[in-house]
Amino acid sequence: MIIRKAEARDLDAIESIYNKILLKEEESEVTTGWERGIYPRRETAEAALKREDMFVIEDDGAFVGAGIINKEQVDVYAKAKWKYSAEDSEVMVLHTLVIDPDKSGMGYGKRFVDFYEDYTRENGCKYLRMDTNERNKAARNLYTKLGFNEIDCLPCIFNGLEGVNLILFEKKL
């Protein structure tokens, strides 16, 4: 298994995973709180590719997942009651982690979060932050199991989605 920076050739695979997850959401097989046409979309991946902060997971040549890692704390974060007071330069954020639903339960999400932690250390940061929709129980369980603390729940409009209760997570390395 490898995790690497995304390339333009990965966009179709990333969009395909977004669409698989959105279809499962529409069929009530998963609950992420995402909505087709609003978030995530191909443009989400294109913007991350342009910023050079999209990473992809491949296993034995098969595309498995993707996520965005950067120092961009979304505006809602400013309202949070963070446990650790940290300068922006000390914080690394994980956004829009997606694993192909056909590969769920195989440890890829954990491996990506492990990569995120290593990447954070390599880039001189001490604090990890991320978020998920309150409805996304699978992500909440994973992040908690991996040592992240649920810090706050903030009602907001998030990535164009209205009525979101955003759960914020934090971990100190």
Q: What is the CATH number of the domain that holds 76?
A: 3.40.630.30
**Mean pLDDT of the chain, nearest integer:** 96
Would you say residue 72 has pLDDT above 90? yes
The secondary element (H helix, E strand) that includes residue 47 is helix 42-51
Structure tokens at 91: 């914080």
Would you say residue 118 has pLDDT above 90? yes
pTM: 0.95
Distance of alpha carbon 19 from its chain centroid, rounded?
16
Would you say residue 159 has pLDDT above 90? no
Dist. CA 173–CA 160, nearest whole Å: 31
Total domains, the chain: 1
Share of the chain above pLDDT 70, in %: 100
Range of the domain at 122: 2-172
Is the distance from CB of 31 to CB of 24 less than 8 angstroms?
Answer: no
Share of the chain above pLDDT 90, in %: 95
Over residues 122-137, the pLDDT tens digits come to 999 999 999 999 999 9
